[in-house]
Structure 1
Amino acid sequence: MIGAMAHVQGLGITSEKFVSHFIHDLRACLRATGTLPDWIIEDLEGLEDVIPPDVYQYLSDIKVNALRADMLINATRELCTLEWAEEPSTLVELSDVVEETISEFSLPDGFEIDLQMTKQSCTIPYQSFKYVLTELLTNACKHHGAAAGVVRVANIGTDGALHVADDGAGIPESYHGSIFDPFTSLKPRDVVEGSGLGLTIARRRVELWGGTLSIVHDPTCKGANFKMTFGDVT
């Protein structure tokens, strides 16, 4: 898809419009794939005693994979169009935006957030930052390795960076250099749902506002510790 985007302008269409049309038509196919199993199940109503149970499982698997494909398409579109829809940066109070993002985050049962924030002004794209922080919170809970845990969000003693750390299983050091690469995952997709592009998109968003996103070692952190920096901090 990305290779094709490099050539579409010669066809008299912008790359942005090409991606939009391509995604729209592909998602239409997937909507049908996700809906048809429901119609088949309706047609089989009353025949449960003669229809092998595996048939219903296969129909369910079709729906699940259609949803996964739709998730992947949405993430791919977002990654391909980040530069086109780049959000202007504004001066914000970091602790206020962090608290707002956390208040809107659907924290799984059993998890809690340890907020350690001090006043810090940053020039960042407001919604883009909230997206990145939400992705890091989601990642911390999803890959924690236990049904309960603590996620620490802090900018105290970090030289102006924001750290998002958890007390989970952590990320092996051998993966620290590749965890932001597309489709890198420590667990199979059928174990932990996801597009495989969440951290890739998050890092690219941070780079667009002039910051960095990395995973760093912290002896006080049992699990993974992500470090986000900002291009303009006061």
Structure 2
Amino acid sequence: MMTGAGDEDVAKSAIQQGAADYLIKAKLTPEGLITTIEASVKLARMQRKIAMQQRELATFAHVLVHDFKAPIRGIDFLCDLIAKALDAGDSAEAIRELDEMRGVGRQMSDLVQSLSEYIGADGEDRHDVYSLNDIAARAQSALRSEIADVGARIEIVQPDWPVFGSAPLLAQLLQNLLSNAIRYRASDPTHIRIAASNAAAGLTRISVEDNGRGVPLAFRDRIFEPFQRFTSRDCVAGSGLGLATCRKIVERHGGRIWCGTSALGGAGIHFTLPAQAHDLAAQ
């Protein structure tokens, strides 16, 4: 606010109503005006960043609840298997299922840590090279119950293909995509294919394709927005945050994600990741 006649009460009122600063015309100089404008722009940008971070925190609070449902169901499923094995006197099977449960528990812990770093202002994810099969195995362990319920066949093409990134976040990405493929299945048997290939220079392309319902062309861009769904909630359960989380994870890694067709006849979700550490740093 700039005025030729005012006092402290006027200045206080102006600031309370949203003014970034208060200038008196009689004391105005070009240098002072430029300094005030620069400070005001800096303040506005900071306020916008804070508002964006608050929205991110609110969204990921929902995501955290949403994405924990699958591993919790997986643990419940494993508890049932352990109880049956113990009733049958099969201690070896019980121990094996217990080890599987520990793996799911570690995955949940990794997810909490990664999401905590993800939404933090200065958080950094630890990136390393893993095989496609390693990441897919992490994702499938959390969905063991759902996969067993529908008898889904998950095919890993090029299982030894190197994938660079944060293992917990990439596993969460595949978990969400596998969960969607199962949720939107068209008929049995459900077939899901995960494949990797070279994309543009320095990029890896990963595709998750299924033989399910597919995604109508008009919705293929919108499905990555939070809470966007192309079916009624009465038809398919879910919060509408799964694919939004996928996009966040891919963008966090410096890649992009899109929806296309599938050679299996259903939906095809494709995304790119930098193939090496220096590619990620250049983003």
Q: TM-score, normalised by structure 2?
A: 0.51
Contact preservation (8 Å) 1:163, 1:227? yes
Equivalent position to 1:230, from 266, 273, 276:
273
Equivalent position to 1:182, from 218, 226, 251:
226
Residue 102 (1) aligns with residue 140 (2): yes
Q: 1:138–1:193: structure 2 CA closer, same or farther, 3 Å change rule?
A: same
1:143-164, CA deviations, whole angstroms, 9 ceiling, x for partnerless residues?
1233541111112577731111
Match of 1:129 in 2: 170
Q: 1:7–1:208: structure 2 CA closer, same or farther, 3 Å change rule?
A: closer
Distance across 1 between alignment mates of 2:256 and 2:209: 16
Distance across 1 between alignment mates of 2:250 and 2:196: 16
Match of 2:160 in 1: 119
Distance across 2 between alignment mates of 1:156 and 1:206: 16
Segments ≥4 residues shifted beyond 4 Å: 5-10, 78-81, 156-159
Match of 1:163 in 2: 207
Q: 1:191–1:199: structure 2 CA closer, same or farther, 3 Å change rule?
A: same
Distance across 1 between alignment mates of 2:143 and 2:157: 17
Contact preservation (8 Å) 2:131, 2:159? no
Contact preservation (8 Å) 2:117, 2:125? no
Deviation at 1:189, TM superposition (A): 1.6
Deviation at 1:80, TM superposition (A): 10
Q: 1:86–1:148: structure 2 CA closer, same or farther, 3 Å change rule?
A: farther
**Does the residue aligned with 1:226 lie in a helix, a strand or coil?**
strand
How many pairs does the alignment contain?
170
1:68-120, CA deviations, whole angstroms, 9 ceiling, x for partnerless residues?
xxxxxxxxxx9998431552212222332223432442213232112212432
Residue 214 (1) aligns with residue 252 (2): no
Identity of paired residues, percent? 24
Deviation at 1:217, TM superposition (A): 3.0
**Does the residue aligned with 1:155 lie in a helix, a strand or coil?**
strand
Task: Specify the code of the residue in structure 2 equivalent to 1:200.
Answer: A
Deviation at 1:178, TM superposition (A): 1.0
**Does the residue aligned with 1:196 lie in a helix, a strand or coil?**
coil
User: Could you say what the CA RMSD is over the residues aligned between the two structures, in angstroms?
Assistant: 3.6
Structure with the bigger percentage of helix: 2
Contact preservation (8 Å) 2:199, 2:272? no
Task: Specify the code of the residue in structure 1 equivalent to 2:162.
Answer: S
Contact preservation (8 Å) 2:211, 2:264? yes
Contact preservation (8 Å) 2:177, 2:208? yes
Deviation at 1:137, TM superposition (A): 0.1
**Does the residue aligned with 1:210 lie in a helix, a strand or coil?**
coil
Match of 1:195 in 2: 239
Deviation at 1:233, TM superposition (A): 4.3
Q: 1:196–1:9: structure 2 CA closer, same or farther, 3 Å change rule?
A: closer
Match of 1:152 in 2: 193
1:167-187, CA deviations, whole angstroms, 9 ceiling, x for partnerless residues?
011001111121111211121
Equivalent position to 1:83, from 114, 119, 125:
119
**Does the residue aligned with 1:230 lie in a helix, a strand or coil?**
strand
Task: Specify the code of the residue in structure 2 equivalent to 1:163.
Answer: S
